[in-house]
Amino acid sequence: MYFKSYSPIFFIFFNKNQAVSLTSSGHEQLALDRANDALRSWQESTKIYRQLKDQEGITVSLINQNLAFQALGLHKEACNTLLEALNFNTNLGICDTTLQELALAQKEQLTTLIGKQKATSVSLLGLQNLGEVLRILGKLNESETVLQETLTLAKLVSSSKISDIYLSLGNIEQTIYQQLQDKYSWIEEPLFREQIANIIPQKAQKSLLYYQTLENIPNISKSAKLQAQLNHLTLLISWEKWLTHQPNQPNLRQKVNQQIRVLVNQIDENSSAFLELSSEPSIHARLNLAKRMF
């Protein structure tokens, strides 16, 4: 009886193709809101890449798994998966929401780990995702540390990820700003309220600076610019509303109102980019814009 033999190269080629196919299937499944199926596909592709000892394939598959975990609302699992993808120490405690802010030594360790990363498109993608997940988990200081260090890496290679990182940094500052607004609304102690009222404009301005920097990046895509403009607009609208209850700052409110008018016109000029957004964000953005125009 004749048995056809296959070379090791054939099996490597076959397994690599299978892993690539599973990766593509995962993206298709996630686009169809089948996050569990996508997760299983990417877990299988990770196993194959481990067998092949393909480190880049392993890293990409783990980053993909993080996307599925996020879609399932499992953000802590997504965070730990990204630590594994980046070969970070999972005992660092960065993903643990029960812990307070990282100690100085831990923050320095985190900064060192990021500094040792090679500025490749894959590592930058993993780091940017880590910063975003930490923001969602409410670990805002850790998120900002990760993204600031990632921005430094990205600038070394003029990465296309720079715009995504600026957007994430702007979103972090906007989240901090919103938390301060919420705190201001329920705190009654006058001195503490005054302190918060002084910090709120600082955080708003810092967030706006990140969005404006992103919007002014040369050759930025229309969709990326539009997303920054929409987040920028959301912040300005919120800030203007807050300023209506601050009678001692009429000039600042007028300035913010003028900025809103200018930005609405800029978004209107860039309106073709709405077609590049997925349906839900596009509808939400158009409604928000319409409220300002009419």
Confidence band, pLDDT 50/70/90 cuts, at residue 34: very high
User: By C-alpha distance, which of 174, 185, 179, 177 is closest to 245?
Assistant: 185
d(CA 137, CA 133): 6
Tell me: pLDDT of 276 over 70.
Answer: no
Tell me: pLDDT of 3 over 70.
Answer: no
pLDDT at 72: 94
Per-residue pLDDT tens digits for 173-218:
999 999 998 898 888 888 888 889 889 989 999 999 999 999 888 8
Per-residue pLDDT tens digits for 142-175:
999 999 999 999 988 877 788 889 999 999 999 9
Tell me: pLDDT of 281 over 70.
Answer: no
Tell me: pLDDT of 13 over 70.
Answer: no
pLDDT at 14: 58
What DSSP assignment string belongs to 79-124?
A: HHHHHHHTT--GGG-TT-TTS-SPPHHHHHHHHHHHHTS---HHHH
Separation of first and last alpha carbons in the chain: 82
pLDDT at 225: 85
Q: Which long-range contacts (CB under 8 A, 24 or more apart) does 268-272 make?
A: 268/293, 270/222, 270/225, 270/226, 270/229, 272/222
Confidence band, pLDDT 50/70/90 cuts, at residue 282: very low
Q: Could you say which DSSP state residue 277 is in? A: S
Q: How many Cβ atoms sit within 10 Å of the Cβ of residue 114?
A: 21
For the chain, give the percent of residues with pLDDT over 70.
Answer: 86
- pLDDT: is 247 or 77 the higher one? 77
pLDDT at 10: 47
Confidence band, pLDDT 50/70/90 cuts, at residue 7: low
pLDDT at 293: 45
Mean pLDDT of 262-290: 64
Tell me: pLDDT of 221 over 50.
Answer: yes
Mean pLDDT of 261-273: 82
Give one word for 239, left, alpha or beta, with left for phi > 0 and alpha for psi -120 to 50.
alpha
For the chain, give the percent of residues with pLDDT over 90.
Answer: 44
Tell me: pLDDT of 27 over 50.
Answer: yes
User: By C-alpha distance, which of 111, 131, 109, 217 is closest to 175?
Assistant: 131
d(CA 120, CA 216): 24
Per-residue pLDDT tens digits for 36-66:
999 999 999 999 999 988 999 999 999 999 9
pLDDT at 8: 59
Confidence band, pLDDT 50/70/90 cuts, at residue 289: low
Tell me: pLDDT of 254 over 60.
Answer: yes
Q: Quick check: 230 and 171 in contact, CB under 8 A? A: no
Angle between helices 222-243 and 279-293 (to 10 degrees): 50
Q: How many Cβ atoms sit within 10 Å of the Cβ of residue 224?
A: 19
Tell me: pLDDT of 26 over 50.
Answer: yes
Q: How many Cβ atoms sit within 10 Å of the Cβ of residue 125?
A: 19
Q: Mean pLDDT across the chain, nearest whole number?
A: 84
